Structure 1
Amino acid sequence: MRENLDSVSSQSMAFTDCMSSTDLLAENKGMKRKNWRNKLGFLLKTKSSHTKMHPTKNRSYRPTADDVNLWAQSLDKLLSHKYGKVAFRIFSKSEFCEENIEFWTACEDFRTLTSHKDLVSKANSIYEEFIKSEAPKEINLDYHTKDAIAQSLHKPTATSFLAAQRKIYSLMENNSYPRFIHSDLYKELYTRALSSGQTRP
């Protein structure tokens, strides 16, 4: 795991997609840790006697040490894993930038739609929630990208949000993802998985 952690350069951990560094230092770290511990409780649980008696019954209940180690290889591998995405979203929420992963996820869902009616409905929903000025979860996009999306709302396609999704992916990859890999949350997930003997079947 050490090699994977070191492969993510700490120099890329600029605070451009979440709170400012000053705000984060002012935030109560103990409270943040308590919050993500509560939300990740089902991933951090140690094996119960019931689980030990029935090892196959809850095999997929939590990530293995191999899974958690794999998350440090790339953001793509993290987001392609069910629990990896959950853990990253909880971490992002603790840093007040969950709108990025939520937007990325919404775009993934949007690209699976085939009905024009569904595309129009979902496109407008995403625009209202993440794109328009002063949206409740407004993401950090340039004017031209936002304008292109606005112009496509009357006749959206599966790729209408692709440019914006790529920009937000890059933002997460260079900022919140490295912080996640170096976070106490990630390290504790890995340590708990190791100590409980969770390995891939």
Structure 2
Amino acid sequence: MRENPAGVSSQSMAFTDCMTPTELSTERKGMKRKNWRNRIGLFLKSNTSQSIFHLMKKRSYRPSADDVHQWAQSLDKLLAHKYGKTVFFIFLKSEFCEENIEFWTACEDFRNTTSHKELASKANSIYEEFIKSEAPKEINLDFHTRNAIVQSLHEPTVTSFLAAQRKVYSLMENNSYPRFIYSNLYRELCAAARVRGQAH
């Protein structure tokens, strides 16, 4: 856990956990995401909860109180539940780091690929989308891990992205996941599931 510099709120620190060094540098220059703290605050107060509950209504997703409580047991249980994963994605989107769960999901799909030709195609797609410098959904990786992926691209295997996937999982587990469990959003989901349970 990084030390909190004087004058920086824990909420501000939370969002920087999800940003790449390039984004942080740009942010400091004030060229990108102007007033981002205000935008995030507004998003968390309105859009996130509305998005979740609109999704529940539209797609008839009805997680039980037991389902929602299980999500607090581990990140594994949250990601294993289709609706839980969707909720977490929307939460990460509110923190501007949905690329982490998108990368993790792409790696899961990649690891289940059996065709060598398809493996090579997916490996290049994942690299282009998440790994290379200035990729549209660039994830925050150290040089060693990134370089190992580049070296494996000419002959990719199902484990080519495993080290990177574990690092991103750990980042979500130690940073975003606890914030999700202690968020107003999660509390609202628990309350909504409880009310539905009592109504039946």
With the shorter chain as reference, the TM-score category is 0.7 to 0.9
Change (3 A) 1:24 1:71: farther
Greater relative CO, 1 or 2 (CA 8 Å, sep 6+): 1
Letter in 2 for 1:31: F
1:160 is paired with a residue whose SS is: coil
Q: Indicate the residue corresponding to 1:35 in structure 2.
A: 47
- Equivalent position of 2:161 in the other structure: 161
Root mean square deviation, CA, Å: 2.6
Q: Percent of pairs identical after alignment?
A: 70
Aligned residues: 175
Check 1:198–1:33 CA distance in 2 against 1; reply closer, same or farther (3 A cut). Answer: farther
Query: What 5-or-longer segments of structure 2 have no aligned partner?
Result: 1-9, 29-34
Map of 1:77-156 to 2, 5 A cutoff? 77-156=77-156
Counterpart AA for 1:143? F
Q: What is the TM-score with the length of structure 1 in the denominator?
A: 0.78
Shift of residue 185, structure 1, vs aligned partner = 1.0
Offset at residue 42 of structure 1 (A): 4.5
Find the residue that maps to 1:197 and give its secondary structure: helix
> What is the distance in 1 between the residues matched to 2:163 and 2:198?
38
Paired residue type of 1:37: S
Contact 1:65 1:198 (8 Å CA) reproduced: no
Q: What amino acid is the match of 2:169?
A: Y
Q: Name the residue aligned to 1:187.
A: 187
Q: 1-side partners of 2:140 and 2:129: how far apart?
A: 13
1:64/1:198 contact within 8 Å kept: no
TM-score normalized with structure 2 length: 0.79
More helix by share: 2
> CA offsets per residue over residues 48-100 of structure 1, 9 Å max, x none?
xxxxxxxxxx9x83111111101111111111111110000000001100000
Q: Shift in Å at residue 40 of structure 1? A: 1.2
Q: Aligned partner of 1:142: which letter?
A: D
Unaligned runs of 5+ in 1: 1-9, 46-57
Contact residue 40 and residue 95 of structure 2 kept, 8 A:
no
Report the Cα offset of residue 35 of structure 1.
1.6
User: Once the two structures are superposed, what CA deviation does each residue of 1:21-43 show, in whole Å capped at 9, x if it has no partner?
Assistant: x9764335233332223321245
- Residue 122 of structure 1 and its aligned partner are, at CA, apart by 0.4
